[in-house]
Structure 1
């Protein structure tokens, strides 16, 4: 007697509609816009347009990183336990997404506006003003991220469908970042003749922010009306990588007793630190050390991002040919070369052409390190999928806080603007800190990071590697 076809077979045959995949993919575009603006332009705007002190600017970025790191698992826990089912007529994920979008729109654009009336209250007034909007924006960012990711198992019922819909999301994120840098390129090229960014460029940054957020709102509306979410009853599927699960196959405390937990954590956080520092301080290096025109604040970060994206595709293509440890060593070597380029690079040829090659190396190294660290972590977790949210949540929290602390320390030791060391500060600090992070990651290779487990899949890691 023939057995009935399995449910998985029917689910595999029923593809997710193209309309749903496209509408879902644009639901995170506003967050992608904000992420590019946050890491690439916020410090430049605070320090050289608003004339904010370097320590103040670093404090605000640290506040944002901490709030983001703490809010993400808390929001994931609330959504995972089914909180907010009354939102949007029993469609909690869309309801949470709308709330997060409102918070983001109220908070993030205000960061690129002047502080009204802050002169009366000095530095504390400035910190309170911008700190409030930083907190609101980061809370909204976390809510949108978690609610958007949590829709994946509702829209896609099989692993292949989930990987496919995640790839659409990541493609939209890639396009979003390119749009940000393209808008910045056009705005700086058409609206400023200055040789460097200064107080007179406030309207350019506001215009970039306004255009990006306007497009982000349109994309969110397309997502709200284009994606159908079934009404939720008592059970809610917990899916976010950053959410903390209610139960796990093993005690959550037991993860902290495993050496591989810490070695993977080191590689993950060092890889993220390397990539984020390049994104944050390359614009400062271009602006202060090399004194390049404002247009390069768009073209060089765009080159870095494009390099990282296509490198991730290359890693997927060669994943079966090279051992992941070799890939990681390659990434670290490329990272050392890019840091050396920052340290020694000078002259017309470097400023005009070779700086883009350095950006390509930074993007490639950071992308490979992040993908391999995620893949090794997934391999380490193995079949204990219920604990994956907890492990990734701890890693994500550590990454965000470490990045915030390192940026704050760099800003704290930043010399005064009239100091003779100010111009060369970023030539020293960027390669030194990046090289230290690479050296720490390299040191873990003398211990058992990569557990030997069958089923090591890098293609699933790439689908989540762009925006953790």
Structure 2
């Protein structure tokens, strides 16, 4: 087997430029998703929609995304052509995203400013945007398993992708910091102008990296060479019979809940609950993503095996549990501690996200004929759960957070929906994720190939 791995080009470590070109391929998705989860609910409530209507818009996008991932995964497994799907999805994202944050287009055409029409318009464009987003995400994630069979190189590709996710998020918050500083939101029109500029700038930057990805990354040959074999396409039932599929699905779902729900309520928390400066809704997320970027880069240099994946995921989950507890108990008069908490959140996010996605590659192993279905089905669970969680939380949200005074007339901690969304939900999801990970058998036959683990990470 050792000799076979030396001759097989798909089991050799891949080059750093290949890792780089792959890593930038999700930048458009990442920068728009960051804007989506960080500012959509805040934007919609600021322009006059009720928290429940804003939640409907968010849920419509998540549901469309969920079902699109299933269909996209099945079609990619049948016909391949990862780059075509990626390019088509990116084009749809670029066209539709500006309409999500660009104001109500039907309202302008019909000269009708009713909240019902606004809700319908934003929900429609949110669904279109998420369909394109799903096509790009599934094709990009599935490519990892078809670029290389080397387990450690697969983690390197995932780490690179996650590192550039942090770059995309930092880029968004840099743009937001400038826009919020230059354009003051004194009216609904000013608010729409703020987010329109953020959307246009994000799309421009993201499209540049999509071009770099398409030019620098070749269509994976592994999927093409297996097309004529019995492993060209694996039926869905094959995965449903594997215990590891359900374990990986649960860990990935919980990890996405941790990241997406916390991101959606971060801006609300620092502005409404802690009453920090407006710049904090860009600075606090920026600190999180700087730390995540550094950790993601460092994770590329580690030789991986199943035990290390479990250990690093557990470490990230434990850190998030402590961060969630700190957020629940953080009083307003020492709000500056949020900057310290954000450092640990950034570390935990990177540890959990890189290892959770890498567990998908362990599950797929060499069975690349079903890799797109695995990515799509897990993403379906992720989108539906996040959409429902945010809908439930936002439906109980109030437009003006209350405070509570203790016996000395001093402000005390008020456990708002925002605190639950940023603190309690991620902490509970992290705890369950760590518990599921503990019972995983990632070293089982068909997951990680042990001889590959002794090879260097990259050429």
Q: Distance in 2 between matches of 1:158 and 1:324?
A: 17
- SS for the counterpart of 1:449 is coil
Q: Which moved more, 1:319-328 or 1:402-411?
A: 319-328
Q: What is the aligned partner in structure 1 of residue 288 from structure 2? A: 304
Paired residues for 1:311-390 under 5 Å: 311-315=295-299, 317=302, 324-348=309-333, 350-352=334-336, 354-376=337-359, 378-379=361-362, 384-390=367-373
Please report how far the alpha carbon of residue 151 of structure 1 lies from its aligned counterpart in structure 2 after TM superposition: 6.5
Aligned counterpart in structure 2 of residue 449 of structure 1, from 417, 437, 440: 440
| Contact persistence 2:145–2:361 (CA under 8 A) | no
Please report how far the alpha carbon of residue 16 of structure 1 lies from its aligned counterpart in structure 2 after TM superposition: 6.5
Calculate the TM-score normalised by the size of structure 1.
Answer: 0.76
Task: Extract unaligned runs of 5+ from structure 1.
Answer: 84-91, 239-244, 462-468
Residues 456 and 198 of structure 1: CA distance in aligned 2, closer, same or farther (over 3 Å): farther
Residues 105 and 363 of structure 1: CA distance in aligned 2, closer, same or farther (over 3 Å): same
* Alignment of 1:265 onto 2:254: no
RMSD value over aligned CA atoms? 4.2
- SS for the counterpart of 1:81 is helix
Please report how far the alpha carbon of residue 133 of structure 1 lies from its aligned counterpart in structure 2 after TM superposition: 1.0
Q: What is the aligned partner in structure 2 of residue 89 from structure 1? A: none
Q: Distance in 1 between matches of 2:317 and 2:294?
A: 18
Q: What is the aligned partner in structure 2 of residue 202 from structure 1? A: 192
Q: Distance in 1 between matches of 2:391 and 2:239?
A: 30
Q: Distance in 1 between matches of 2:273 and 2:281?
A: 13
Aligned counterpart in structure 2 of residue 75 of structure 1, from 49, 60, 72: 72
Please report how far the alpha carbon of residue 292 of structure 1 lies from its aligned counterpart in structure 2 after TM superposition: 1.9
Aligned length: 431
Q: Deviations over 1:208-242 (max 9, x none)?
A: 11111122233334555x3486799x95878xxxx
Q: Distance in 2 between matches of 1:327 and 1:113?
A: 40
Paired residues for 1:39-54 under 5 Å: 39-48=37-46, 50-54=47-51
Please report how far the alpha carbon of residue 403 of structure 1 lies from its aligned counterpart in structure 2 after TM superposition: 0.6
Residues 392 and 80 of structure 1: CA distance in aligned 2, closer, same or farther (over 3 Å): closer
* Alignment of 1:176 onto 2:168: yes
| Contact persistence 1:376–1:450 (CA under 8 A) | no
Residues 288 and 423 of structure 1: CA distance in aligned 2, closer, same or farther (over 3 Å): farther
Q: What is the aligned partner in structure 2 of residue 103 from structure 1? A: 92
| Contact persistence 1:331–1:364 (CA under 8 A) | yes
| Contact persistence 2:393–2:417 (CA under 8 A) | no
- SS for the counterpart of 2:8 is helix
| Contact persistence 2:296–2:354 (CA under 8 A) | yes
Q: Which moved more, 1:110-119 or 1:167-176?
A: 167-176
Q: What is the aligned partner in structure 2 of residue 405 from structure 1? A: 388
Q: Distance in 1 between matches of 2:118 and 2:193?
A: 19
| Contact persistence 2:183–2:190 (CA under 8 A) | no
Q: What is the aligned partner in structure 1 of residue 270 from structure 2? A: 286
Q: Which moved more, 1:357-366 or 1:60-69?
A: 357-366
Please report how far the alpha carbon of residue 441 of structure 1 lies from its aligned counterpart in structure 2 after TM superposition: 2.9
Q: What is the aligned partner in structure 1 of residue 132 from structure 2? A: 140
Residues 378 and 123 of structure 1: CA distance in aligned 2, closer, same or farther (over 3 Å): same
Q: Which moved more, 1:282-291 or 1:159-168?
A: 159-168
Q: Deviations over 1:340-365 (max 9, x none)?
A: 221221245x323x111111222222
| Contact persistence 2:397–2:418 (CA under 8 A) | no
* Alignment of 1:188 onto 2:173: no
| Contact persistence 2:271–2:278 (CA under 8 A) | yes
Residues 68 and 305 of structure 1: CA distance in aligned 2, closer, same or farther (over 3 Å): same
Q: What is the aligned partner in structure 2 of residue 464 from structure 1? A: none
Please report how far the alpha carbon of residue 135 of structure 1 lies from its aligned counterpart in structure 2 after TM superposition: 1.7
Please report how far the alpha carbon of residue 262 of structure 1 lies from its aligned counterpart in structure 2 after TM superposition: 3.1
Q: Distance in 1 between matches of 2:261 and 2:415?
A: 18
| Contact persistence 2:100–2:125 (CA under 8 A) | yes
| Contact persistence 1:269–1:399 (CA under 8 A) | yes
Residues 363 and 12 of structure 1: CA distance in aligned 2, closer, same or farther (over 3 Å): closer
Aligned counterpart in structure 1 of residue 117 of structure 2, from 117, 125, 142: 125
| Contact persistence 1:414–1:425 (CA under 8 A) | yes
* Alignment of 1:440 onto 2:423: no
- SS for the counterpart of 1:219 is helix
Q: What is the aligned partner in structure 2 of residue 466 from structure 1? A: none
Q: Distance in 2 between matches of 1:202 and 1:395?
A: 34
Q: Distance in 1 between matches of 2:136 and 2:250?
A: 28
Please report how far the alpha carbon of residue 106 of structure 1 lies from its aligned counterpart in structure 2 after TM superposition: 2.1
Q: Distance in 2 between matches of 1:259 and 1:228?
A: 34
